[in-house]
Chains A and B, each alone.
Chain A
Amino acid sequence: MAADSPPRTAVLSVRNIVRTFRSPRGIIRALDDVSFDVAEGTITGLIGPDGAGKTTLLRILAGILGADSGRATILGFDPATEAPALQRHLGYMPQKFGLYEDLTVGENLDLHADLHGVPPERRAELYAPLLSMTALGPFRTRLAGKLSGGMKQKLGVACSLVHAPPLLLLDEPTVGVDPVSRRELWEILARQVRENRTTLLVSTAYMDEASRFDRVVILHAGKVLGEGRPEDLVSEARGHVFHVAYPSWSPRKLEPFLAKVPGILDAVGEDGGVRVVVEGSAPPLPAEISTTRIEPVPPRFEDAFMQRLARGAGKTSRTAPSPENLGWQNKKPGLADGGHEEAIIIRELTRDFGSFRAVDHLTFSVGRGEIFGLLGANGAGKTTTFRMLSGLLLPTSGELRIDGKDVLGSRVAEIRGRLGYMSQKFSLYSQLTVHQNLVFFTSAYGMSGKRQRDRIAEIEAFFELEAYREESAGLLPLGFRQRLALAASVAHEPSILLLDEPTSGVDPVARREFWRTISQLSLWGVSVLVTTHFMTEAEYCDRVAIMAQGQLLALGSPAEIRARARTPETPDPTLEDAFIRLLEQAQPPGVPA
């Protein structure tokens, strides 16, 4: 193998790569003149919104997709012409779990070792550190399909490292993985870089991950928007980030307003106010909110990213949706501050599957117009709770009330009419147009005639779907599909909205738009119950509940939860720090669920 070692000078260089795709909307330039370099033994992040071209680029580098023009050199090979030689040395982990679910952990490892020509006598030596790092040792004979989401990703990493490749390409390795597993995964990768001088090129949608990389390449619409050390990019945003508070408006009202002010590049609710990134040196606030408290705050990577993106993409201003054009205000007016009414009441809710208790005496309630986050690792019981709420699953014991009605004693159809449900999977009919989907979903809830027509027109206007009315749902860009899914789930005017990991895999830009809509709905009195793995997203919630093994570990506002994790070492913990700490307290590390 030693004589086989590829030259170490240029580990990876990309020069003027162009790749186009034909689609029903015309030619799409997935990669448009992309160039950058990756130094040996470093972690380089490929960051950008969905459809930026990250996956296309990684596939070209792995030699499994051709480029239209341009050139790449990896480990001294050209992936376009020397793929077989390159693939002997390269590690690649695709975005979609690429392992065989009907093979065991050990069989998957052996398959990859065989395919990479790892001699049997070296395997024990190579497997041992991989199995101990990933904590998969005790699960060698378990089928890969029976592993949790986090463990699957770890196995994917282990398989792509089985031949000790000098370079590893990873395509969004942490999507859909809970925060604890995510942190473990990064520890494995960091150790690989530290101890074996492995070079990593990783694409990700998590901004907090990006700040830990040696270098980042920001991709947008196929073009490189920025490149450099994350610290350098962050320092560019210094002096442009502020925390804005306006006592008479809640952040939920203030944020969408500020987001539309010219000169403000990004606005996101935080800590009783709104965090804004501005073009100049001070927020250009309009006169009507002049009595605002403005404080400069140190920038984060996400601020820098949004700044670059806004500059590169050219900020588009949308017309503000007004409450008058939707139907809620004449049904359930938003409550005045201080008013409280319970929309969901859950008491001692328990559900057993055989001897396994999925939900264990769960008690909490969600107020009218409240956004309530249900957080927890995979398998904590969130989905089971959701299924019981929507009447798809009967509780073993306990009480469940929706709008004062006992779910168990009422007709399911009656309860369903009050619920809107949006799952993480795309659950619309991809062959139907946007309009046809909305007609179908409103009809399913019994709407017809003028009322239905008016309602669909309202919904299409509110979600700005008019331009896509006659497009097939399956051909929409991801952000618009998400928007349509939300539109379909609220089309029948539900008073309660259940969102199951609604923004999994959605980029920061689309995520902000999504949450602004959710905030808007909550202002009109819709109660929202949401599960998510994004802790930054949990910050949008009024209150969050953290679940583990079917039980409630903590309940409170994001600020309260953060406060619980405050220690002398971490005086200002993030919600993610708090989440991990709570979970570790409940369950000692090293014991997988």
Chain B
Amino acid sequence: MTASSSARERLVRVRAMVKKESLQIVRDPSSLAIAIVLPVLLLLIFGYGVSLDARHVPIAVVTESRTPASEGFVAGLRQSPWFVPRSYPDIHSAVAALRRQDVEGILWLRENFGRSIESFRTHGVHVVVDGVDDNTARLVEGYLTNTWDTWIGFRNERGRALSFQPVALDVRIWFNPDSRSRDFLVPGLIAVIMTLIGALLTSMVVAREWERGTLESLFSTPVTIGEILVSKFIPYFILGMAGMGVSVIMGHFLFEVPLRGTLGVLFLTSALFLTTALGMGLVISTVSKNQFVAGQIAIVFTFLPAFILSGFIFDIHSMPFFIRVLTHIIPASYFVTILQSVFLAGNIPGVIIPNAIALFAFSLFLFALLVRISRKRIL
């Protein structure tokens, strides 16, 4: 007799294990909940609840002397979709309002406002923004500047005065012309969801087998460690791709995120990333052997970094150097870049290929590590 199994026997064993795993997925509502319900929930929360756009921001306006210029500027502000100006008699009451968080910022038109406009001198405009929420603060600042520019431009067209600014600022937002943060959030969110499905689910299911003692039974049968890993991989790969499908469908049809790249590229890159995520989950559970610990590690080492450091919400380019280096070891950051490109810009080989290669390298590394650390031994 021979020690090694025939290819047919291997196939029978893998098929039996995949079937077993699939039955467990179907019968255990928690894994289906993580794979399907969680993505839907997260997408709904982020799609509807979280918006990085500032709209109807309450802002205090203090006008020290009413002039046609100041009246005009405030009227312009009122027409902007971004602000709801509220008048305050003096700067002190405005500051008090800011402290109470009644307003997000203060526009202070000093007494010399009108005169300075006419005479090319420094303008008597002060802007105070609430820096507690840095993100909103920057938005308010940006939008106020924008409104200011618009107003100046408007004045120039009417030829009422010469512009103090020979070159007008013309802001154009590429790839997201509507500047809808949702379009930018949803692809990133999908990457985070995929990390969650991949890492959390697999890390829990292998640890579960350790905890329940079922792995000890399995180990005493002729099944090899490679076959066990393959059989864990296949069903969760399919489940993960299903979660991906649900997310893409919701993103495109419910949140109307454009899909400018092709589905083929989306599918291939997702498969590559999911492989990486599943690999992380399998490594975690091989090391921890305990569902609770595995779940914690999966969240701390895969989900949270994917959330914070992938560039999904927080722009990587504005991070400090050290953190920026750190983002290179977060697989999700490569996938976020790919997805944002595929959704918003299209198939751009210069973006997609290098990032895909990085993901491929990650999955190779993780599976090589997995083969090295897993043994068919119970200790």
Contact = CB atoms under 8 A, between A and B. Distances in A.
B214 A85 contact: no
Which of A90, A111, A112 is most buried by chain B, counting CB atoms within 10 A of its CB?
A111
A114 B378 contact: no
Contact of B216 (A66, A87, A88, A94): A94
A115 B220 CA distance: 10
Nearest to B223: A115
Interface string A86-99: 01101011111111
Interface in B256-307: none
Query: Taking each of A59, A93, A99, A114, which has the highest tally of chain B beta carbons within 10 Å of its own beta carbon?
Result: A114
Contacts of A87: 220-222
Contacts of A98: 212-214, 216-218
A102 B27 contact: yes
A65 interface: yes
Contacts of B20: 100, 103, 107, 111
B23 A102 contact: yes
A64 B378 contact: yes
Contacts of B28: 102
16 contacts: A59-B216, A59-B378, A65-B378, A82-B3, A84-B5, A84-B224, A93-B217, A94-B220, A95-B213, A98-B212, A98-B216, A100-B20, A102-B24, A103-B24, A112-B221, A117-B222
Interface string B195-225: 0000000000000000011101111111110
Contacts of A4: 1
Given A98-B213, A98-B214, A64 B12 contact: no
B4 interface: yes
A83 interface: yes
Nearest first, the 10 closest Cβ-Cβ pairs linking A and B are A98-B217, A114-B16, A96-B213, A92-B220, A85-B3, A115-B221, A4-B1, A64-B219, A94-B216, A102-B27
B222 to A, nearest CB: 5
A101 interface: yes
A84 B24 contact: no
Given A88-B222, A102-B27, 12 more contacts: A4-B1, A62-B219, A84-B3, A84-B224, A85-B1, A90-B220, A94-B217, A95-B213, A97-B212, A100-B24, A101-B212, A115-B222
B377 interface: yes
A3 B1 CA distance: 7
Give the interface centre of B212, B217, B377, B379 by most chain A CB atoms within 10 Å.
Answer: B217
A98 B216 CA distance: 7
Interface string B1-28: 1111100010011011101100110011
B24 A117 contact: no
Contacts of B126: none
Interface size class of B (residues with CB under 8 A): 20 to 34
A165 to B, nearest CB: 10
Interface string B344-357: 00000000000000
A64 B23 contact: no
A119 B308 CA distance: 52
Contact of B13 (A99, A114, A143): A114
Contacts of B66: none
B56 interface: no
Interface string B363-379: 00000000000001111
Contacts of B218: 98, 115
Given A100-B24, A107-B23, A111-B20, A65 B1 contact: no
A100 B214 CA distance: 7
Contacts of B224: 84
A116 interface: yes
A114 B16 CA distance: 6
Given A96-B213, A96-B216, A99-B214, A64 B377 contact: yes
A83 B4 CA distance: 11
Interface in A40-96: 59, 62-66, 82-85, 87-88, 90, 92-96
Contact of B377 (A65, A82, A103, A159): A65
B180 to A, nearest CB: 44
Interface residues of A, number: 38
Contacts of B1: 3-4, 6, 85
A331 B23 CA distance: 59
A94 B213 CA distance: 8
Interface string B329-359: 0000000000000000000000000000000
A110 interface: yes
B212 A117 contact: no
A107 B217 CA distance: 15
A94 B218 CA distance: 10
A92 B216 CA distance: 9
Interface string B219-234: 1111110000000000
B201 to A, nearest CB: 15
A155 B21 CA distance: 20
Interface string B120-134: 000000000000000
B376 A83 contact: yes
Contacts of A6: 1
A111 B20 CA distance: 7
Contacts of B379: 65
Interface in B52-102: none
A492 to B, nearest CB: 31
B208 to A, nearest CB: 10
Contacts of A112: 221
B236 to A, nearest CB: 16
A143 B3 CA distance: 34
Nearest to A114: B16
Contacts of B223: 115
A117 B224 CA distance: 13
Given A83-B376, A96-B213, A103-B20, A116 B3 contact: no
B222 A84 contact: yes
A557 B229 CA distance: 57
Nearest to B27: A102
Nearest to B211: A96
A72 to B, nearest CB: 15
A62 B4 contact: no
Nearest to B13: A115
Interface in B15-51: 15-17, 19-20, 23-24, 27-28
B340 to A, nearest CB: 39
A103 B23 contact: yes
A65 B376 CA distance: 8
Given A3-B1, A66-B377, A90-B220, A114 B12 contact: yes
A504 B219 CA distance: 27
B3 A64 contact: no
A25 B217 CA distance: 29
Nearest to B14: A114
Contacts of A66: 377
Nearest to A81: B3
Contacts of A82: 3
A3 B213 CA distance: 34
Interface string B130-145: 0000000000000000
Contacts of B376: 64, 83
Contacts of B2: 85
A100 B216 CA distance: 12
Contacts of B378: 59, 64-65
Contacts of B217: 92-94, 98-99, 159
A100 B26 CA distance: 14
A115 B217 CA distance: 11
A141 to B, nearest CB: 13
Contacts of A107: 20, 23
Contacts of A83: 376
Contacts of B5: 84, 117
A95 B220 CA distance: 13
Contacts of A59: 216, 378
Nearest to B24: A102
B22 to A, nearest CB: 11
A65 B375 CA distance: 10
A98 B214 CA distance: 4
